[in-house]
Amino acid sequence: MEQSVEAKLKEFDVEGYTHGVRRRDRLFEIAGLIATLFVLTFLFAVSVDLLIDGWIRLKEPGFYTSFPSRFPDQAGILSAWVGTLYVMAGALFWAIVLGIPAGIYLEEYGGKGKIARIIEVNISNLAAVPSIVYGLLALGVFVYRFKFGESVLTAGLTLGLLMLPVVVVSTRESIRRIPRSIREAAYALGATRWETLVHHILPYSLGGILTGLIIGASRAIGETAPLITIGALTFIAFLPPAPWEDFIGMLKSPFTVLPIQMFNWVSRPQEEFHYNAAAAGFVLLVLAFLMNSIAFYIRFKVRRKYQW
């Protein structure tokens, strides 16, 4: 009755078994490849869908130089892209002013101290707060309590805060990559901490910080929800005053941005407006693509330039 181990081994089809194992391995690899390709196809489908739907508007030069209109074939994105420009400038300003110093503090000065630890946990929590909650913050605090109104200033501040975690994290990461020996060499020559910071740490980490800023901005440029919450208007038939003529007026001016203009057009029932929405979406997509490419390029360059 009882088979010996050897007999069992003899019966066991080693070749068939390993063949099966190899095949399953191969099948799984192909499944993984297909899944990855599916995700990339999705990206491709989104872009092509927007391009096809929006082509009729994208090819019109008037689309870029006209204000929104009741007539879909006359409506354009002039106020939207100008608004996006102003709002992003504001967002970058706040992200630079608040984010980079915070990142430097955490990496260079904070160490393992208690305050640094609290700030660190806090920033990682902020990163996970849904963007629409930032919109509620802006509505409750900036718009009504600080009386900034539904303005370029409020929008820039809101998106700047939204970008903050990305900027802080990328600043920290690029500073962390600088080896300790650089700092010690500076100290050994009698440099103080801020001299070390300004002469060495900042220049060497600038590429990484810049990459973080651009990545953060590429996310912020498409943010719609927090700006809808603060009450960005969708029908703006004028431009904010140029900052070199009336800076305060520009900050206080009502605005619209590309994603909000697009949202407005998507939510309309007439199909003609959907072409406009697709065209605006494609412009956004191109902007996001350009920003990401620049960030990718800088990262690549920096990797080459500084090899410790």
Partner 1 sequence: MTLSLGTKKAIDLVVFLFLLFMGAVSILVTFAIVWVLLVDTIRFFTHPDGGGFPTSLIRFFTEKEWTPTFYEKKIGIWPLLNGTFMIAGISMIISIPLGLLVAVYLSEYASWKVRESVKPWLDFLEAIPTVVYGYFALLFVTPILQKFFSLFSIEVQGMNALSPGIVLGVMILPFTASMVEDAFKGVPQYLREASYSLGASKLRTALFVVLPAAKSGVLSAYLLGFSRALGETMVVAVAAGMYPQITANPLEPVQTITGYIVQVALGDLPFNSFEYLSIFAAGMLLFVITLLFNSIAVYMKSKSVGY
Q: Distance (Å, rounded) from C-alpha 155 to C-alpha 73?
A: 29
Minimum separation from the CB atom of position 232 to partner 1 (A): 9
Residues 233-272 within binding reach of partner 1 (CB under 8 A): 259, 262-263, 266-267
Q: Distance (Å, rounded) from C-alpha 184 to C-alpha 162?
A: 35
Task: Tell me which of 32, 179, 203, 249 binds partner 1, using CB under 8 A.
Answer: 32
DSSP 239: -
Q: Which positions ≥6 away from 259 have C-beta within 8 Å? A: 221, 222, 223, 224, 227, 284
Please, what sign has the CA dihedral across residues 278, 284, 299, 117? Answer: negative
Question: Is 197 an interacting residue with respect to partner 1 (CB under 8 A)?
Answer: yes
Minimum separation from the CB atom of position 184 to partner 1 (A): 17
Question: Is 210 an interacting residue with respect to partner 1 (CB under 8 A)?
Answer: no
How many residues bind to partner 1 according to rule CB under 8 A? Answer: 90
Residue 144, Ramachandran bin (φ over 0: left; ψ between -120 and 50: alpha; else beta):
alpha
Residues 56-85 within binding reach of partner 1 (CB under 8 A): none
* Cβ-based nearer residue to partner 1, 208 or 259: 259
Residues 116-145 within binding reach of partner 1 (CB under 8 A): 116, 118-119, 122-126, 128-137, 139-141, 144
Identify the three-state secondary structure at position 8.
helix
Residues 271-290 within binding reach of partner 1 (CB under 8 A): 274, 277-278, 281, 284-285, 288-289
Question: Is 38 an interacting residue with respect to partner 1 (CB under 8 A)?
Answer: yes
CA distances from 171 to 5, 32, 105, 181 (A): 62, 34, 10, 19
Task: Tell me which of 7, 46, 242, 248 binds partner 1, using CB under 8 A.
Answer: 46
Minimum separation from the CB atom of position 231 to partner 1 (A): 6
Identify the three-state secondary structure at position 71.
coil
Q: State both tokens at 137.
A: 């913050």
* Cβ-based nearer residue to partner 1, 168 or 250: 168
* Cβ-based nearer residue to partner 1, 118 or 185: 118
Question: Is 222 an interacting residue with respect to partner 1 (CB under 8 A)?
Answer: yes
Minimum separation from the CB atom of position 2 to partner 1 (A): 26
* Cβ-based nearer residue to partner 1, 230 or 250: 230
Please, what sign has the CA dihedral across residues 110, 115, 121, 127? Answer: negative
